[in-house]
Amino acid sequence: MTTIDNGVNVQALLDAREVLKGAPEAAQFTWRASSKWQNGVHSTTTIQNFFGLGQEQSHKSETVFTADHPEVFAAEDNGITPIEYLLVGLAGCLTAGVASVAQNRGIQLRSVESTVEGNHDIRGILGADSDVRNGFNDIKVTFTIDADASKEDIEALVAQSQKRSAVFDALTNPTNVTVEVA
Amino acid sequence: MLERGEVANSWRRERWDSLRLLTPNWQSRLPGHRYEGPDPDGYMTMGEVIEFIERFAAVSRAPVRTGTDVTSVRRTDDGYHVTTSRGEIGCRAVVIASGACNRPTVPQFTDAVPASVLQLTPFDYRGPTHLPDGGVLVVGASATGVQLAAELKRSGRPVILSVGEHVRLPRLYRGRDVLWWMDASGVWDQRHDEVDDLTRARRLPSPQLVGTPERGTLDLNVLAATGVELVGRWAAVRDGRALFSGGLRNVFSLADLKMRRLLDSFDEWARAHGREAEVDPPERFAPTHVPESARWQLDLRSGEIRTIVWATGFRPDYGWLDVPVVDAKGRLRHEGGVVDSPGLYALGLPVLRRRKSTFIHGIEDDAREVIDHLTRCLAVRR
């Protein structure tokens, strides 16, 4: 039997699950981002530190994200639109889930590709029609997966990945958001 | 045997009028007592279930003390002290057989529902005639939710069904009751120590089944065809609006895939055991149809919905058990019915020893093993 290796350390995740079952306080994470206005609708957001497992944690290095709007919005297009970052988050989360579940189920992946489309009626954010919402009307993710598994097993991978996805949950269910002025 | 009410009390008082057993009559068997009527493939009404259990109490000459409510069970040096509404009892061992469905569970945000909307649990619900006219939001799509949604829709009311993770099953598969397959193929006999993820198996919601004379399937496609509107899992109430999850499509996929795997395993079993001739050819069912656009919010103050029925599950109540054997989630800590306190046992809980543990015919094997442990334990301690 060949060893399945999708590069996911599933054993570490399973071990963590067991440990955190009895230590819910250690499971409390806080993810943080710091943002700074540049000019116009251009901003940069920096991410490095977060809190988890009872203490401050840090990514290996700082990452800077540039957000702007495209020229059709009369902007400079220094970076992607903030709402597009949601697509980045969703694709990244579901893909990580597919790899993890596949590893756990002993399925060797050869390639996992996806396209994510979010349909957005911008009359909402422009205030052109108060019946139109600001956010996405719907999002569609299409996976193309090459793996040593039946079509059904691949569909089950994708379904389980959604079931355990933080970003899928954050997008499909409401979240309380507090915005304050310090 | 202490019974707070009458024999078959919860079947008398905690069930809606139209309910029938999910298991076919031939499966209703207890030691020395089985269904012997003319319709082995039918499903008992509540009246018939009560009669069945009453008859078993009589033929087994069970020493039932009815009208005896247990208010406390406390550990003593050599056993337990039981306080009841009819006095005190000292005993060396206690078997808890009070079930897993003592209280309906509802989400925390019920308080945020406007007072103009009537809220019911399955314990309050008897039938459609007791509800105000107007729309009903049924929350939960397991056996209770799908049955009540169907009945309320038939009564002429607009019905919205909020659907989270669920277990889809056809009533008949290849001409046989799906529960015949569960029984014959050995799924139901699977032991608690053989199940992959026991915690998940114990939390599994009841399947979308109904017992009717027509032996019909009651899945979401059937409900949608009658005009029941499907929405996602109810996630929160904000400003008087119910907000539903946008993940409806995936709960459909999960249930469709799981059903398919189960039916595949039945086919595999029939092939491997030479049972193909007894059953019809394999069938596959259409995937759950995803509505063009399921709404994700509903204004609870608009009058569209007059009643909410919470079919969101049940939990046990161990408020009377003064022994520290209940976990943080309110579940009894036990290993195959042997509770972590000498002389304390449990029966009739989900996957107690086998997948069939909570079914009428599932109690016999469990009871034998648990009582065997109990008698050996008493003999040693004597």
Q: What local confidence, expressed as pLDDT, does residue B347 receive?
A: 97
Indicate the pLDDT class of residue B281, thresholds 50, 70 and 90: very high
The verdict on ipTM greater than 0.85 is: yes
Contact of B172 with chain A, judged by CB distance below 8 Å, is answered with: no
Per-residue pLDDT at A1: 46
Q: Which of A151, A161, A173 is the best residue to mutate to test the B interface, defined by the most B CB atoms within 10 Å of its own CB?
A: A173
**What is the interface size between A and B, counted as CB pairs within 8 Å?**
39
Residue B297: per-residue pLDDT: 94
Query: What's the pLDDT score for residue B293?
Result: 83
Contact A85, A118 (CB under 8 A): no
Nearest-angstrom CA–CA distance, B307 and B131: 7
Across the range B366-375, mean pLDDT stands at 97
Residue of A nearest to B293 (CA): A138
* Residue A156 with chain B: CB contacts under 8 Å: 257, 261
pLDDT of residue B147: 98
Q: What is the reported pLDDT for B352? A: 96
Is B293 an 8 Å CB contact of chain A? yes
CA distance B98 to B314: 13
Mean pLDDT of B240-267: 96
Over the stretch A158-181, which tens digit does the pLDDT of each residue have? 999 999 999 999 999 999 999 999
- Note whether B247 contacts A173, CB cutoff 8 Å: yes
Please identify, in words, the CATH class of the domain defined by B9-102+315-381. Answer: alpha beta
pLDDT of residue B382 exceeding 70:
no
- Chain A residue nearest residue B256, CA to CA: A156
| Topology at the third CATH level for domain A81-173 | GMP Synthetase; Chain A, domain 3 (3.30.300)
* pLDDT above 70 coverage of chain B, percent: 99
Residue B172: closest CA among B43, B59, B287, B53: B43
Whether A24 and chain B come into contact, CB under 8 Å, resolves to no
CB-facing half-sphere around the CA of B70: CA atoms within 13 A: 23
B235 touches chain A (CB under 8 A): yes
Whether residues B246 and A160 touch (CB distance < 8 A) is answered with: no
Q: Per residue in B288-326, pLDDT tens?
A: 999 988 999 999 999 999 999 999 999 999 999 999 999
Structure tokens at B57: 């109490």
pLDDT digits (tens, 9 = 90+) for B133-150: 999 999 999 999 999 999
- Which residues of B are less than 8 Å from A169 in CB distance? 247
Delimiting residues of CATH 3.50.50.60 domain(s) in chain B: 9-102+315-381
What pLDDT score does A34 carry?
Answer: 98
**Which residues in chain B have Cβ-Cβ distances shorter than 8 Å to A158?**
253
What is the number of H-type helices and E-type strands within chain B? Answer: 8, 22
User: How confident is the prediction for chain B on average, in pLDDT?
Assistant: 96
Which regions of chain A are under pLDDT 70?
A: 1-2
Q: Estimate to the nearest angstrom the gap between the alpha carbon of B100 and the chain centroid.
A: 9
Q: What is the DSSP string of A66-106?
A: EE---GGGTS--SSB-HHHHHHHHHHHHHHHHHHHHHHHTT
Give yes or no for B245 touching A (CB within 8 A): yes
Facing residue for A159 by CB, picked from B233, B235, B254: B254
- Residues whose CB is less than 8 angstroms from the CB of residue B17 and which lie 6 or more positions away in sequence, other chains included: B46, B126, B127
Closest residue of B to A136, CA-based? Answer: B246
Which helix or strand (DSSP H or E) is residue A114 part of? strand A109-119
pLDDT attached to residue A2: 63
Q: Does A18 touch chain B (CB under 8 A)?
A: no
The domain ranges of chain A are 27-71, 81-173
Cβ distance B257 to A138 less than 8 Å, yes or no, reads: no
| Span B183-205, average pLDDT | 92
Check CB contact of A59 with chain B, cutoff 8 Å. Answer: no
Nearest to B243 among A158, A163, A174 (CB): A174
pLDDT digits (tens, 9 = 90+) for B336-363: 999 999 999 999 999 999 999 999 999 9
Contacts of A159 in chain B (CB under 8 A): 250, 253-254, 257
